[in-house]
Amino acid sequence: MNEVDRRSFMSHVASSLLGVTVAPATVQALDNTKNVSPTGKKQVIYLFMTGAMSHVDTFDPKPGSKVQGDTKVINTKTPGIKFGEHMKKLAGFSNELAVIRGMSQETGAHGPGQYLMRTSYKEIATTSHPVLASWVQRLDGRISKQLPASVSIGGKAGGPGYLGARYAAVPVGDPNQGLQNVKMPAYLKEPHFNRRLALSATFDKNFRGLAKNNQQVNGYDDLYREAVSLMKSEGLKAFDLNQEEDSVRDKYGRNRLGQGCLLARRLIESGVRFVEVISGGWDMHRGVFESMANKGPELDNAVGSLLQDLKQKGMLKNTLLVIGTEFGRKPNVNVNVGRDHHPAAFSTVLAGAGIKGGQVYGQTDSEAFYVEDQSVSVQDFNATIAKAIDLPYEEEIFSPTGRPFNISNGGTPIKQIVG
């Protein structure tokens, strides 16, 4: 039985027999993964700005240049470092931030660009590569015994590739609604539910007999136990933003990114290892300055509030915060007053988990078109992430076809940022 058939089978049985819907990706992420101690394991919040965030209007402004357009430039807390005007809160946290202005890659298409950023590899037909979250779980396990190792919030994330379904992230579409399809229906009382579980075990025994040599099939009863455990777990409260005061939710911003960042903080607090928050709307081919006037403060407010909370709660030292995007946007505006795709230069940001903040790494030319100094590949960026959270970034895992891969595809960590 292949992985798709297996997931479909289990989802169907859960719905028909148990009276609940176990989301396929939730089922995947709760598969037979070793339980680990939380001691010393660093966590990740990865904020992905899909559509391609403009570096000129955010973290690599060019004051006095014609390409700057209507976006003004502001000073930060760190002497000599300037941001675009919408990054007001983040300017106050600049001593915590390592701003990488030397990012560069070759593809200007969204799908392949996002795939590369998430996996370190170019997208090919013959191999499905794991995303960073799957690598983290595979190389260093999970923290919580009840909550999933990784969660994606707000949009479509990549998958576990050849590592298999057990390393997939649990998806949360709308952070305001939390994790769907895991609560027991009101009409179904626990004794009745337990009887259905017992009946399921009977079918399970017969099914095992038909596929006793199939390792994936043999493990699905453990999967159900973990899924049921999650349904009854206090850990589910971590997904419920209604547990937060209205003032806190307002502080982060009542939008998908703001609430996604708040949910990410709650999940990290509860022991989720890797949380990706996806924010769309950055593909600004038209009206870039008007769009930035909306999206810029949204990003700034959400991330500024997240950094504030992580610091106040003492979590930032063990939590890596990443701001990423698939590529940059052309510094010169087009006829529609927008900025088109520009993979030759873009910016990313790292903070926390021992990152050396208060610095800029990489330099673009006077109009932000090309990287002039300290160019950073996607592979080097991902190796830096892995190094920051103490992962063996050079360790190889073999795919089912026998090919060796690692988390950074041979990248080298940036020593000035992670030592």
pLDDT digits (tens, 9 = 90+) for 296-333: 999 999 999 999 999 999 999 999 999 999 999 999 99
Tokens 């990488």 belong to residue = 100
Inside any domain, residue 38: no
Range with the poorest average pLDDT among 26-35, 354-363, 388-397: 26-35
The pLDDT of residue 214 is 53
Task: Determine contact, residues 227/220, Cβ cutoff 8 Å.
Answer: no
Number of domains in the chain: 2
Residue 40 confidence (pLDDT): 84
How far apart (Å, rounded) are the C-alpha atoms in residues 307 and 310?
5
Name which of 36-45, 73-82, 125-134, 272-281 the model is least confident about. Answer: 36-45
The token pair at 412 is 């080298």
Claim to verify: residue 357 and residue 213 sit in the same structural domain:
no
Q: Is residue 235 part of a domain?
A: yes
Q: What is the bridge-based pairing of β-strands 341-342 and 328-329?
A: antiparallel
Pair 375, 247 in one domain: yes
Neighbouring residues of 125: CB distance < 8 A, sequence distance ≥ 6: none
Per-residue pLDDT, averaged over 270-274, amounts to: 97
Same domain, 235 and 247: no
Q: Record the tokens describing residue 315, joined without a space.
A: 């979590």
- The mean pLDDT of 40-61, rounded to a whole number, is 98
Question: Looking at residue 2, what is its pLDDT?
Answer: 46
- The mean pLDDT of 237-244, rounded to a whole number, is 96
Domain that holds residue 24: 1-30+183-239
Name the CA radius of gyration of the chain, rounded: 22
Where is pLDDT greater, at 228 or 4?
A: 228
Q: What is the pLDDT of residue 317?
A: 97
- The reply to whether 136 and 49 lie within a common domain is yes
Residue in the block written with tokens 């709760």 = 30
What CATH number did the domain enclosing 400 receive? 3.40.720.10
Q: Are residues 234 and 121 part of one domain?
A: no
Residue 346 has pLDDT above 70, yes or no: yes
**Claim to verify: residue 197 and residue 147 sit in the same structural domain:** no
* pLDDT class of 224 with cuts at 50, 70, 90: low
Does 406 fall in a domain? yes
Within a domain: 397: yes
The closest alpha carbon to 60, from 278, 307, 386, 374, belongs to 374
Q: Looking at residue 407, what is its pLDDT?
A: 99
pLDDT on residue 12? 45
CA atoms within 13 A on the CB side of 102: 16
Instruction: Give yes or no: residues 124 and 219 share one domain.
Output: no
Could you give the CA distance from residue 109 to residue 267 in angstroms, rounded to a whole number? 32
pLDDT at residue number 191 = 80
Q: Is the same domain home to 322 and 379?
A: yes
DSSP3 helix / strand / coil % (the chain, rounded to 5): 40, 15, 45
Q: Is residue 394 part of a domain?
A: yes
- On whether residue 35 sits in a domain, the answer given is no
Q: Cβ distance 306 to 321 under 8 Å?
A: yes
Write down which residue in 239, 268, 285 finishes a domain: 239
Are residues 170 and 231 located together in one domain of the fold?
Answer: no
